[in-house]
Amino acid sequence: MTARNEFSTVKNLLLMQVLIAISVASGFFVLGGWKNALSPFLGSSIALLPNCYFAYRLYLSRNWDAKKIVRSFYASESKKLFLTAALFAIAFQIPDINLLTLLIGYLAVLSTFWFALILWRN
């Protein structure tokens, strides 16, 4: 019997999000060049970076006792939401950002959670 990596699901989910981010930005790049790909790339990054932060924080707390893990979970989720809002605020300052394609990139990466539930259910 082989030992299973505790974070293989998290790693697979993050990898899936990276692939979707690349796919969405590449699709817009093919359709309209790098100016059209910038907004969905930024939207994808706004979803992906806070998720990477959250996964890293979960990894750091893996050997803690239950109370500390729960506290860390809630604190990390709060920081993740703050980071997402800050990244949106920064993205809105960039001139010529297309709000619709920014949100398409964001929602495409964010929807990975829902697809993962369907694909990886037991």
What interhelical angle do 66-92 and 34-60 show, nearest 10? 160
Two tokens at 103?
Answer: 């949100």
Whole-number pLDDT of residue 1: 41
Separation CA 84–CA 88 (nearest Å): 6
Residues 6+ apart with CB under 8 A from 95: none
Sorted by where each begins, the domain ranges of the chain are 8-117
Whole-number pLDDT of residue 5: 57
Whole-number pLDDT of residue 3: 45
Whole-number pLDDT of residue 114: 81
Residue 94 carries which DSSP code?
S
Separation CA 114–CA 88 (nearest Å): 22
Among 111, 121, 95, 119, which residue's Cα sits nearest to residue 38?
Answer: 95
For the CA atoms of 24, 107, 97, 80, the dihedral, rounded to the nearest 10 degrees, stands at -120
Stretches where the chain sits below pLDDT 50 are: 1-3
Residue 1 carries which DSSP code?
-
